[in-house]
Structure 1
C-alpha cells in the first residue's frame, strides 16, 4: 500500500520536473539590498489519506502562531522556520528552527525536498522545505518565539475553494493577498501564498 510519504515524494518529483506558471512571489516588492535568507518547514503529518474510521483527522500541516509582542510579524500564523545561519543549508535551518520553536526532533522529520523560493516585501528570501512527520508528537511551543502551535487538515489547505483574495496594507502600501480562515486562525500573506504555490506545483489542480 502506498503511504502518504511515498505519494508526496512522487508528486514532489513530478511537480518539480515540470514548468509551472503563475507561481506567487513578491520579488517586485522587495527592498533594495541583499535579502535575508530564511527557511520554513512544511511539516505534513503522516496519516493515511483514507480511513475506514470517519473520525480520523487525516494528514495535516503544522503551523505556529507568533506572539503579539514580537517586532516582526506579531500574532501571525506561520510555518516553523527562520533565518539561515552562516554555513547552514535551508534544510538544516528549517529543522533547527522547528526544534527551537516547537520542540520537533529533527530525527523524526523525513525531508522530501526544497520547493520554490519566495521573496517577500519585508526583505526575506524564503525556501520552503517539504517533509513528513509522525502524527501526534508531544510538541511544545517555545514561549519566547511562539504563542501556540496547531495542525490544519491538508485537504482543507489544498482546496482552492478555501482560499480568498483580499487586500491589506503592507509596508505602507495597499496590496492584494491570499487568506484562509481555519477556525480562529487566519492563514494569510506569505504563508498562504507558499501553500498556493505548493498546490500548483504538486497537484496541478487534481486531488491528492
Structure 2
C-alpha cells in the first residue's frame, strides 16, 4: 500500500466446502467494537507492531475474532489491496479451512457468524449496484444480500474481486487466478 495516510490492515477471505457447496466466512460485528459497528465483514483488522507482515496480521485477527488456528488455514494468495472510507489500507488474503470447523467467535467483536454460500452471492437477485455521491464524485458500487444482511462497502468490494476470480468450471480453488501484487500466491 502506497498511501502512508492509511491505517494498515489485513483481512482473510476463508473458503470451505459445507454440504458440497463452497461457502465464505463473514461475520456481523458487535456494537461494542471501535470501527464498523454492526457491519458485515471478513475476519481481519489493523496491523499490530508485533505482526511480522500483513499475512501474519490476517491470520492473527482471524484467530482472535473467529477462534481459527492459523495452522488450520491454507493461504492460497492475495487479492488487490483496497482503501476504505474509514482510512484503512487493507491487504486481502484468500485461504481455505477444513470443514466442519469449531468456530469460537469473540463475543466482544462478533455478534454473528455468517456462512455464506458462494452460489448465493453469484445469484443476480442477491446483487445490486448502488450509486453514491462521495466527495464530489459519483461512485458505482455493488452490494449483496444474504438473508436479512446487507454486504456493502469494502466487504462488498472484496466479495466482487473474489467472485471475479472464483472458478465456475472447476471445484479446485487452487486453480484461481491471483491478480494481487503481480499474481503472487500464498
Matches within 5 A, 1:117-132: 117-132=81-96
Q: Please point out which of 182, 191, 198 is paired with 2:155.
A: 191
Structure 1 unmatched ranges of 5 or more: 1-26, 48-55
Indicate yes or no: 2:23 matched with 1:60: yes
Q: Please point out which of 57, 72, 75 is paired with 1:108.
A: 72
TM-score by length of 2: 0.78
Partner Cα separation in structure 2 for residue 169 and residue 141 of structure 1? 36
Q: Please point out which of 18, 28, 37 is paired with 1:74.
A: 37
Larger deviation: 101-110 or 159-168?
159-168
C-alpha deviation, 1:162, in angstroms: 2.9
Structure 2 unmatched ranges of 5 or more: 171-186
On the 8 A contact 1:178/1:193 being kept in 2, the answer is yes
Q: CA 1:145–1:170 in structure 2 vs 1: closer, same or farther (change >3 Å)?
A: farther
Q: CA 1:58–1:68 in structure 2 vs 1: closer, same or farther (change >3 Å)?
A: same
Q: CA 1:117–1:33 in structure 2 vs 1: closer, same or farther (change >3 Å)?
A: closer
Partner Cα separation in structure 2 for residue 175 and residue 74 of structure 1? 23
- Find the structure with the greater CA-based Rg: 1
C-alpha deviation, 1:77, in angstroms: 0.3
Partner Cα separation in structure 1 for residue 114 and residue 88 of structure 2? 24
Quote the RMSD (CA, aligned, Å): 2.6
Q: Give the corresponding residue for 1:92.
A: 56
Number of residue pairs the alignment of both structures matches: 168
Q: Give the corresponding residue for 1:36.
A: 7
